[in-house]
């Protein structure tokens, strides 16, 4: 569940970004402080609820996030970066057979907004349009034009190569493999939170969930999918059932 860049022409979206629901007309948010009953005429201490109900669905409390494994060594991080670059080039050349792979060296590791900004600047310096996504965690590009119109065919290959070069020059440092505890945590989110939210709002699950042991054995190589209209709109399902990586953030 990486967020190297946002989906745009010539870029490979993250798995997390591939999936973006009953009856209430308002949103109930129970995050924040609430006051319980009083004793001896004095207000009781304020407590904070962590459950969040959106359009009638209360999200599961996943509990404490498990710690990650130890960081990769420099050599292992470099090997992972090269493997990622090879994978990106294989995808590019399958779509652009005439492309010639350039030699590219890493400029610097970065993450979050710093990575998005570096990629935008790199793509712009290559002669193409690029802008930061809202909030700065991602970027979009319409290629050599100032609109979202399709890139002319004769420029598609050179644009794809430019994006590849930028993505290799400016990259996330590879994270350590997920621990069994992290995989158990992720499985609970996918099945008890995300899938449960989809079905609560009337969507059909298009995938069969593996067992927890199977998910861990595959190192997390499964992600659910849904179909159908559901009970509320796509914009609402993105708010009620956001696809996210529960291992990131606080």
pLDDT of residue 58: 86
pLDDT of residue 32: 29
Question: What is d(CA 110, CA 107) in angstroms, rounded to the nearest whole number?
Answer: 10
Average pLDDT, the chain: 79
Partnered with residue 205 across adjacent β-strands are: 226
The 8-class DSSP code of residue 194 comes to I
Question: What is d(CA 231, CA 240) in angstroms, rounded to the nearest whole number?
Answer: 12
Question: What is d(CA 219, CA 57) in angstroms, rounded to the nearest whole number?
Answer: 29
3-class DSSP state of 192: helix
pTM above 0.95, yes or no: no
Model confidence over 216-240: pLDDT tens digits?
999 999 999 999 999 989 999 999 9
Residue 31 confidence (pLDDT) above 80: no
pLDDT band at 22 (very low <50, low <70, confident <90, very high): very low
What number of other Cβ atoms are within 10 A of residue 54's Cβ? 20
Residue 118 confidence (pLDDT) above 80: yes
The position carrying tokens 């710093």 is 114
Could you give the residue ranges of the DSSP H alpha helices within 96-230? 112-125, 153-169, 180-188, 195-200, 212-217
Q: Buried (b) or exposed (e) across 11-49, using 16+ Cβ within 10 A?
A: beebeebebebeeeeeeeeeeeeeeeeeeeeeeeeeeee
pLDDT of residue 215: 97
From residue 43, give the alpha-carbon distance in Å to each of 33, 36, 38, 79, 150: 13, 8, 4, 59, 62
Model confidence over 41-92: pLDDT tens digits?
333 333 333 455 677 788 888 999 999 999 999 999 999 999 999 999 999 9
Structure tokens, 9: 């022409």
Q: What average pLDDT score do residues 5-25 get?
A: 33
């Amino acid at each position: 569940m990486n967020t190297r860049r946002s989906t745009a022409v010539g870029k490979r979206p993250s798995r997390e970004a591939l999936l973006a629901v009953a009856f209430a007309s308002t949103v109930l948010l129970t995050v924040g402080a609430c006051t319980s009953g009083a004793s001896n005429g004095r207000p009781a201490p304020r407590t904070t609820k962590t459950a969040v109900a959106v359009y009638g669905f209360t999200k599961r409390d996943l509990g404490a996030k498990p710690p990650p494994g130890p960081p990769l060594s420099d050599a292992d991080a470099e090997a992972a970066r090269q493997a990622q670059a090879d994978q990106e080039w294989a995808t590019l050349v399958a779509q652009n057979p005439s492309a010639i792979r350039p030699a590219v060296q890493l400029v610097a590791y970065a993450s979050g907004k710093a990575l998005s900004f570096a990629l935008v600047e790199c793509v712009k310096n290559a002669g193409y349009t690029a802008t930061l996504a809202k909030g700065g965690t991602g970027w979009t590009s319409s290629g050599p034009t100032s609109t979202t119109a399709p890139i002319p065919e004769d420029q598609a290959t050179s644009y794809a190569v430019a994006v590849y070069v930028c993505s290799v020059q400016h990259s996330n440092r590879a994270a350590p493999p997920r621990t069994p505890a992290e995989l158990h945590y992720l499985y609970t989110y996918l099945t008890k939170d995300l899938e449960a939210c989809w079905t609560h709002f009337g969507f059909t699950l298009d995938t069969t969930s593996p067992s927890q042991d199977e998910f861990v054995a595959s190192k997390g190589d499964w992600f659910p999918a849904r179909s159908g209209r559901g009970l509320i709109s796509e914009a609402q399902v993105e708010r009620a059932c956001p696809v996210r990586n529960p291992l990131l953030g606080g």
